[in-house]
Chains A and B, each alone.
Chain A
Amino acid sequence: MIDTQKLQRYFEIGDSCVKAVDNVDLNIAAGEFVAVMGPSGSGKSTLLYVLGAMDRPTAGSVSINNRRLDLMDDQQCSDFRNRELGFVFQSFHLLPRMNLIRNTELPMIYAQAEPAVRRARAEKLLKAVGLGDRMDRLPTELSGGQCQRAAIARALVNGPKLLLADEPTGNLDSHTGLEIIGIFQALNRAGMTVVMVTHDENMAEHAGRIIRMRDGRVEHIEKVAKPLLSKLPAEIENSLREVSGAA
């Protein structure tokens, strides 16, 4: 699914050059759940943004589903982000003045979906992540865990096959964090490819593979022998499986 070759993302600042991502060769198969770990500044976020068509590599190639992101123009990148993948961020990044429904609908608006279709789909997703009773609330009225679940609903709304998460549990307590990981695992079981940046070894142990980075390079890739399991109630598991397909 994800394939990078000699991927570089350098930042030129004056005379110095920060090698945020340096010659990374990655291969992630469809249906994998991968954790990316590494010290602060090792280039995890930068890598994730490049994989997510938000940022462009300065050299090397990156392809997702055999499509070369490094060769796309702005419009193509935008469409790609919109339809082919979903982002989940540490600080949720919900728009503060919109209720959960409208936040969740947002990617569908850019996909030209009809209002009625949008609304139905957003409601379905919010219900699936357990926010059926909070759909018309503003993000400021919700807990961190609830916000992150809404953000996941938003990421899934256009039915992507790839989920990119940058420290999705970083702002949450470990219990709530595990709930989020549980959702990722459930989605992963339903066929979703998940790449998650995390600082938390315990969270990373829930993934199938851990990529360890240092100074922009992949230092080590290890297979998790026996991934930990974060169990969700059966009905949430079911509804997540149901909605994780195409829109």
Chain B
Amino acid sequence: MQLKEQINTGLTGLFDHPFRTFLTMLGIIFGVGAVIAMVSIGAGAEREALEELKKFGDSSIRVSSLEIQGERLTEALKKQTRGLSLGDVSYLLSSCQFIDIAVAEKIDEYGLYVLNHKPLVKIVGVGDGFLQASRFEVASGRFFSAAEQENAALVAVLGAGVASEVFGDVEPVGQTIQIERIRFKVIGVMQPQGSGSGKLAIKRRDHDRDVYLPLKTSLQRLEKWPVEDKDQYHEINSIWIEVKRGYDLLQARDIVRSMIRRRHSEIDDFEIQVPLEILQQSQKTQQLFNLVMALIAGISLLVGGIGIMNIMLASVNERTREIGVRRALGASKRDIVVQFLVEATLISILGGLIGIVAGIGISWLIAFYTGWTTAVPLSAVLLAFFVSISVGIIFGSFPAAKASGLDPVKALRYE
């Protein structure tokens, strides 16, 4: 008997009892559906993490100053260390050949006045190379030139959020803003960075509320940086470091850490983040999640398979006479095996397909209601499909063997 006929026969068999068939499929539907939904969450998180990494770069190191208290503060005062400073930046630049860029960042909480607005902003002084190190982009206008950095020019670049809040539809470039009674000319607006942190635990403030000034401008004009600060002890908030291609990022991080610690008299008043490392850690977590998921999937498919086997065994019993009749009319053992295997496999394939659709639907719902990124990888769909087929074949083979092993005469006489 040809497979096509067997499939026809199987389908007819299934549609003889549509409700029972559906109930039998439920195990597979739930199993596959849950797996697809969970995989979509995992894959979405992975994609989000990768996008996040693209934002931060896979060659970035961030050094941030930490506030210290208690004993450590006492120790720091005793040893006369002053936290992260401009000196650290120039020291790193001059002594580490693996560093491509190192940019200082100084954050202040001065008030900003413009057109009667007093928006909540952070005044951020950044050194040369900031655009490159941060991977931020300018939406309109331009960023500071080297000359403006050098001359401590009174120019500012606005974060996207500040620009739209303050200026609305008016083009901000060319306008004037006022910080601490000093007037600054707006020369550029940044691309929106998006607020909040993603799935990665990379610390990140809302850069859309930043107002950038050249570092020297911020230090000299706003902070009244003493000109005699030859040792560059002036405290800064963080250093954006880009490591040259070909150097090991984590090794670089360790060197940077030990250098700064030495300069800070072994006091941990700073922390170092490597986005790539955080991503790798999150991937490890992801792998654990995947393992648990595979286990759940395995269990539910096992349960689904047992359900199929159960129903198929009942079906063999119920159709003993039919088996006898088919045998009398010329069906071989092999024909009977194939008939029941096809039926079991059709149940599991159909269940798998419905499960895949349901899983994709669930992943959409999750994305819709939670705002998480979800993604259904084709590989997961294909895997689910082939696992469904195998479940049918594996759990259908025992009932099929039982059916074909029936003595034809006894089957025919079975009441």
Chain A bound to chain B: yes
Residues of A participating in the B interface, judged by any CB pair closer than 8 Å = 49, 52, 54-55, 74-75, 78-79, 81-83, 87, 89, 93, 95, 97-98, 106-107, 109-112, 154, 158
Number of inter-chain CB pairs below 8 Å = 61
Most chain B Cβ neighbours within 10 Å, of A54, A87, A98, A158: A54
> Are the CB atoms of B1 and A112 closer together than 8 Å?
yes
> Are the CB atoms of A95 and B330 closer together than 8 Å?
no
Is B201 close to A, CB under 8 A?
no
Is B408 close to A, CB under 8 A?
yes
Number of residues on chain B facing chain A (CB within 8 A): 22
Residue contacts A-B, CB under 8 angstroms, 7 given: A55-B409, A78-B335, A79-B330, A81-B328, A81-B330, A110-B330, A158-B330
> Are the CB atoms of B330 and A83 closer together than 8 Å?
yes
Residues of A within 8 A of B324 (CB): 93
Closest-by-CB residue of A relative to B5 is A109
> Are the CB atoms of B1 and A78 closer together than 8 Å?
no
A109-B1, A112-B1, A112-B2 known; A78 and B327 CB under 8 Å?
A: yes
> Are the CB atoms of B408 and A106 closer together than 8 Å?
no
Residues of B within 8 A of A106 (CB): 326, 329
Residues of A within 8 A of B68 (CB): none
Among A49, A87, A97, A112, the residue within 8 A (CB) of B329 is A87
> Are the CB atoms of B330 and A107 closer together than 8 Å?
yes
State A110–B5 Cα separation when bound (angstroms): 9
Least distance between A42 CB and chain B CB atoms (Å): 16
> Are the CB atoms of B329 and A82 closer together than 8 Å?
yes
> Are the CB atoms of B332 and A97 closer together than 8 Å?
no
Contact bitstring B1-28, A, C-beta under 8 A = 1, else 0: 1100100000010001000000000000
Least distance between A49 CB and chain B CB atoms (Å): 5
Least distance between B406 CB and chain A CB atoms (Å): 12
Is B380 close to A, CB under 8 A?
no
State A122–B2 Cα separation when bound (angstroms): 19
Chain B interface main SS type: helix
> Are the CB atoms of A74 and B409 closer together than 8 Å?
no
Is B321 close to A, CB under 8 A?
yes
> Are the CB atoms of A74 and B1 closer together than 8 Å?
no
> Are the CB atoms of B332 and A93 closer together than 8 Å?
no
State A226–B6 Cα separation when bound (angstroms): 49
State A236–B326 Cα separation when bound (angstroms): 28
> Are the CB atoms of A97 and B12 closer together than 8 Å?
yes
Among A49, A93, A98, A111, the residue within 8 A (CB) of B330 is A111
Among A54, A78, A83, A112, the residue within 8 A (CB) of B332 is A78
A93-B321, A109-B5 known; A81 and B409 CB under 8 Å?
A: no
Least distance between B315 CB and chain A CB atoms (Å): 13
> Are the CB atoms of A82 and B330 closer together than 8 Å?
yes
Within 8 A of A (CB), among B280-333: 321-322, 324-333
Most chain A Cβ neighbours within 10 Å, of B322, B330, B412: B330
Is B55 close to A, CB under 8 A?
no
List the 4 shortest-distance A-B pairs measured between CB atoms, nearest first. A82-B330, A78-B332, A110-B330, A107-B329
